[in-house]
């Protein structure tokens, strides 16, 4: 999925990917396959889930992200599932890209990702998932990535290396989520693309 970027007279690489906000699953059609967050009242939240199927208006079957991909990559095998009340599930909804007003720089820097911008209403309430520049995180490999490109954003990517120097440019190897999990499950190496770290954001 891509969103056209028209910012700063063509400086597309400065675009900031929009956040993914949690939306109650009960308000969303076509749930199977959506990334999900389970809430446990008074305790906390579970992330890294996918909705596997909708059993009835009141419950959904969920799987871990790894088992979701296992079912797609090695179909027919057993997949551990759980039934969860739909009113305890949220799904990720990515907001549309909104370019900054003409003449303004995109907001960036540590303050954009400070703790007070990430506080949830309660321990059992999910918060927005705001992309962070890949250069600002440690242990990059395995993380969900967003790539900024002239035509928009590329989603559902994974880092498969730490940053390294390639001919004077700080670079990381990137692959699709499908290839990443195929590698984890079957051992088949993924097809990778080296990308400049300045083009990458973590989710």
Tens digits of per-residue pLDDT, 5-35?
A: 334 446 888 999 999 999 999 999 999 999 9
The predicted structure's pLDDT at residue 98? 82
127 class by beta-carbon count within 10 Å (0-12 exposed, 13-18 middle, 19+ buried)? middle
Tell me how far apart the alpha carbons of residues 135 and 163 are, in angstroms, rounded to a whole number.
Answer: 8
What is the biggest distance separating any 2 CA atoms in the chain, rounded to whole angstroms?
55
Domain ranges (residues) in the chain: 1-17+131-203, 19-96+113-128
The predicted structure's pLDDT at residue 115? 62
Could you list the mean pLDDT of each consecutive 10-residue stretch along the chain, which spans 203 residues?
42 90 95 97 96 94 97 93 97 88 53 63 90 94 96 95 96 98 97 97 95
The predicted structure's pLDDT at residue 109? 44
Quick one: angle between helices 177-186 and 65-73, nearest 10?
Answer: 80
pTM of the model: 0.85
Tell me how far apart the alpha carbons of residues 163 and 202 are, in angstroms, rounded to a whole number.
Answer: 13
The predicted structure's pLDDT at residue 12? 87
The predicted structure's pLDDT at residue 55? 86
Return the number of other C-beta atoms located less than 10 Å from residue 68's C-beta: 23
Helix (H/G/I), strand (E/B), else coil: 194: strand
- Residues 72 and 156: beta-carbon distance below 8 Å: no
Tell me how far apart the alpha carbons of residues 150 and 170 are, in angstroms, rounded to a whole number.
Answer: 19
The predicted structure's pLDDT at residue 1? 36
* DSSP codes, 148-200: EETTEEEEEEEE-S--EEETTEEEEEEEEHHHHHHHHHH-PPPP-EEEEGGGE
Helix (H/G/I), strand (E/B), else coil: 31: coil
Residue pLDDT, tens place only, 64-89: 999 999 999 999 988 999 999 999 99
The predicted structure's pLDDT at residue 46? 97
Average pLDDT, the chain: 88
């Amino acid at each position: 999925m891509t969103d056209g970027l028209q910012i700063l007279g063509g400086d597309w690489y400065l675009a900031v990917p929009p956040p993914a906000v949690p939306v109650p699953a009960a308000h969303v059609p076509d749930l199977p396959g959506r990334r999900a967050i389970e809430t446990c009242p008074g305790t906390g939240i579970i992330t890294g889930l996918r909705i596997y199927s909708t059993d009835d208006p009141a419950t959904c079957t969920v799987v871990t992200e790894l088992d979701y991909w296992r079912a797609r990559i090695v179909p027919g095998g057993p997949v551990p599932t759980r039934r969860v009340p739909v009113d305890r599930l949220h799904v990720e909804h990515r907001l549309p890209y909104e370019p900054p007003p003409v003449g303004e720089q995109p907001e960036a820097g540590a303050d954009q990702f400070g703790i007070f911008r990430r506080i949830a209403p309660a321990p059992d309430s999910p918060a927005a998932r705001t992309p962070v520049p890949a250069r600002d995180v440690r242990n990059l490999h395995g993380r969900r990535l967003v790539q900024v490109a002239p035509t928009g954003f590329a989603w559902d990517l994974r880092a498969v290396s730490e940053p390294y120097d390639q001919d004077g440019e700080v670079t990381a190897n990137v692959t699709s989520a499908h290839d990443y999990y195929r590698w984890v499950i079957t051992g088949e190496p993924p097809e990778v693309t080296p990308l400049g770290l300045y083009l990458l954001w973590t989710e």
